Amino acid sequence: MQKLLVTGGAGFIGSNFVHYVLENTEDHVTVLDKLTYAGNLESLRGLPEERFRFVQGDICDAALVDGLVAGADVVVHYAAESHNDNSLHDPRPFLDTNIIGTYTLIEAARKHNRRFHHISTDEVYGDLELDDPERFSESTPYNPSSPYSSTKAGSDLLVRAWVRSFGLQATISNCSNNYGPYQHVEKFIPRQITNVIDGIRPKLYGKGENVRDWIHANDHSSAVLAIIDKGIIGETYLIGADGEKNNKDVVELILEHMGQPRDAYDHVVDRPGHDLRYAIDSAKLRDELGWAPKFSNFDAGIEDTIAWYRENENWWRPQKAQTEAKYKEQGQ
């Protein structure tokens, strides 16, 4: 049994991790979350009170962070500003949370000699050409293209430097695009699902040729636990489920599963600097730590995700109108 401090645990990927840990281990979890628009306490409803605690606060608050880290065995750092469109509109919060917040956490982990795992993204590597057979690996040079991905790259490099310079007991994982329950409706897959539920035609950036490597949030969670348990300090592990799909195919699959014509969507103006393709080579994680995804069938994973949004309208409904109004202002 361990005591885990999970930052950003009321967000999409963090909350899925908290559920996964409490369902599959005997560990105790404390969540630290600022509860910005992307954090939702409803995502943590029903968790066992004897093994779960929630603290509202900012990861940039050094005094708060220090006390929480001191009481934990492992720090799992999910907290981040993560939406590309938002980073293009206002980069500053991404600098505060992703850079200063990470610095605050690793300083506390160094002081108290705590195990630290840093959650990052494949977007730090930039993008690949659509017809490029290569995939990202742990040795791929960083080439971020947005304020979001550049600040995540910066946070990765801080962790690496603290490992080398100060002996921080840390690992890093860079994961491909997640989907599943509890994802904010500003994101691509839940936006399209909830649009169809509301009788609104889905929206597709540009021609929809951009490729993402999709992974179910539960598979991301199991990979992170494997890295915490068996990963080598100082190492980086890429997490992916061989789920490459272009955005057009994803929208058409959602429409098909929801009983609509596959072409019942609209094209909207593309995002500035929209990365073409992400693809993950997770061989190191699979070969060295024995991890494998369980949601290897993207079609089944999408069906499961659609069912969750149909059954949990009370969770996403409060976010929907404001999100669509913002996209409308941007012509998207």
Phi-psi region of 231 (alpha: psi -120 to 50; beta: other; left: phi over 0): beta
Residues β-bridged to residue 33: 56
319 class by beta-carbon count within 10 Å (0-12 exposed, 13-18 middle, 19+ buried): middle
Distant-in-sequence, close-in-space partners of 227: CB < 8 Å, separation ≥ 6: 117, 171, 173, 237, 285, 289
292: Cβ contacts below 8 Å, ≥ 6 apart: 286
Active-site pick, 20, 125, 148, 309: 148
Catalytic residue among 33, 58, 107, 123: 123
Which residues pair with residue 177 across a beta bridge?
214
**For this structure, is 123 an active site residue?**
yes
Q: Is residue 148 among the annotated active site residues?
A: yes
Give me the catalytic one of 58, 122, 252, 281: 122
Taking only Cα atoms into account, the Rg of the chain, rounded to an integer number of angstroms, comes to 19
Active-site positions? 122-123, 148
